[in-house]
Amino acid sequence: MDSEALRKYSALHPKPAGLTLQYGTAGFRTRAEQLDHIVFRMGLLAVLRSKAVTATIGIMVTASHNPEEDNGVKLVDPLGEMLHPSWEEYATQLANAEQEELEKVITEICQKAAVNLNKDASVFIGRDTRPSSKKLSQSVIDGIQVLGGQYHDYGLVTTPQLHYMVCCQNTQGQYGKATLEGYYEKLSKAFMELIKQSHCSGESQRHLKIDCANGIGALKLSEMKPYFPQEVLIHIYNDGTKEKLNHLCGADFVKVHQKPPGGLDMKPNERCCSFDGDADRIVYFYKDTAGHFHLIDGDKIATLISIFLKELLAKVKQDFKMAVVQTAYANGNSTRYLQETLKVPVHCVKTGVKHLHHKAQEFDVGVYFEANGHGTVLFSKAAETKIRQLVKEEKDDEKREAAKMLGNMIDLINQTVGDAVSDMLVIEAILALKGLTVQQWDALYADLPNRLLKVQVADRRVIDTTDAERRALTPPGLQEKIDALVKKYKLSRAFVRPSGTEDVVRIYAEADTQENADVLAHEVSLAVFHLAGGKGAPPQP
């Protein structure tokens, strides 16, 4: 390690006094002006991680659905998955180390993680369209170069595209070509093959309006347009030329406010969707003839995909294990529909993509989506191999056709991470193949009315949960109180969980009517306020 270069460069990226940040599910996120030292140090860490696992590591500069003034950085592990939890700790240590301790902390990480500094290192870099992203990715490069790593800067890409490139690189091209063209070609080819098998006619089916959150999704969809078949007419809105990133638009805005984004005019029954700022989440929506807004969130996306895959799996007659993975935030009626009507096993895990992804890996076909629209489908190696074999060798026409569709689905889905572009194409293909309108899809089940609230507390750690965050262990008496409140309403449930990032407790309630869901959420928030050390005035209804 060149101590002199490390000292010189870290002085160019000084750490503001008294700032401590923690590496969470989304990496580091904060105001852009506080991030320079962090991204420089994540450049260092990416080199160490690459040397530790002898593979290419990704580093993405983005703050996803946060306001434009924020930015963030996260690392991508060799198969396109999120950074290993043990290394999240190293990231936090390195980010918060004082200038003069930097070399010592690096040496400690090398000892703990058995890093051989003489090995080669390779890092792929990507960034979103925020004004601060270009300069920050330059600081990442400084960090990589100080420790002698090689890098490839992809420039402007969606977060899922960077995950995809890293996976392609480390599977020696088995997963695909590690270029944007490779990504566009693989997805569009699989999509065209699927659409070919559809018998759906009528223009209206194939028009889609897309709100790109004034972010990177607009740029990349425009690049991908030439690869799409003629029948697919995508109309891009909020493309970043006029308005600010994520301002009054994007998947997060639409989901939280339950209303259409600005900058997009909707006619009744038109299919529309929204990406988030870095294009790893998607939600659909439409307006009915009476002018009512309808949101189709991650739960309903998972349901549509599950219906389609279950039908195909039944046709290939293999003993594949399929399951859906949700969090406690999934609407109760989606869980009921999947379990009781579709007869698909549903598993509930703690909030956070890494928990969903991990659980989904236990099945031959694991579908996971968060209600916010982030999700994907994972296929086991064994299932994929068997499906590819059936395509080649199966004599029975129906079985072979179903296997071919499954093979194309495997190619169309970005299995590394939730990907708005890929998920959109999966949904569009399924709707065309099943001849479904957006209203028919929405009508599979009605969401139970629900309400999300948050209560400020002095210390969020007083709340400890169990059963995938659905029950509170502490403070004493809180869960009993919630149980008693829930009993008062039909089809109701409620849970509380501490935020991962701030001293607030999040409350979710659902019931048979919106009025009951609102009252239940309020009553639970009062219980949290009184039993868990609420701050300020008690919550008002």
C-beta atoms surrounding 358 within 10 Å: 17
Parallel, antiparallel, or unpaired for β 282-287 and 322-327?
A: unpaired
Give 261's DSSP letter: P
In angstroms, the CA 11 to CA 5 distance is 10
Tokens of 407: 């093979």
Q: Which of 10, 50, 64, 133 is catalytic?
A: 64
Residue 479: closest CA among 537, 533, 531: 531
Phi first, then psi: give them for residue 54, nearest 5 degrees. 40, 60
Phi first, then psi: give them for residue 166, nearest 5 degrees. -60, -45
Give 533's DSSP letter: T
Phi first, then psi: give them for residue 136, nearest 5 degrees. -65, -35
In angstroms, the CA 74 to CA 332 distance is 32
Question: Annotated binding residues, as ranges?
Answer: 64, 276, 278, 280, 370-372, 497-501, 506
C-beta atoms surrounding 234 within 10 Å: 17
Q: Which residues are within 8 A (CB) of 159 and not within 5 positions of it... i.e. 6 or more apart?
A: 60, 62, 64, 126, 128, 278, 279, 280, 417
In angstroms, the CA 391 to CA 389 distance is 5
The three-state secondary structure class of 23 is coil
Tokens of 101: 């301790």
For the chain, the distance separating the N- and C-terminal CA atoms, rounded to the nearest angstrom, is 59
In angstroms, the CA 336 to CA 524 distance is 24
In angstroms, the CA 527 to CA 504 distance is 14
Does 50 qualify as catalytic in the annotation? Answer: no
Residue 31: closest CA among 68, 60, 74, 61: 68
In angstroms, the CA 211 to CA 284 distance is 10
Q: Which residues of 79-99 are buried (b: 16+ CB within 10 A; e: fewer)?
A: ebbbbbeebbebbbbbbbbee
Question: Annotated binding residues for substrate, as ranges?
Answer: 370-372, 497-501, 506
- The three state secondary structure string of 337-386 is HHHHHCCCCEEEECCCHHHHHHHHCCCCEEEEECCCCCEEEEECHHHHHH
Query: Are 272 and 266 a contacting pair, CB within 8 Å?
Result: yes
Q: Which helix or strand (DSSP H or E) is residue 407 part of?
A: helix 397-412
Question: Annotated binding residues for Mg(2+), as ranges?
Answer: 64, 276, 278, 280
In angstroms, the CA 329 to CA 372 distance is 9
Parallel, antiparallel, or unpaired for β 293-296 and 282-287?
A: antiparallel
Phi first, then psi: give them for residue 214, nearest 5 degrees. 55, 35
> Which residues carry out catalysis?
64
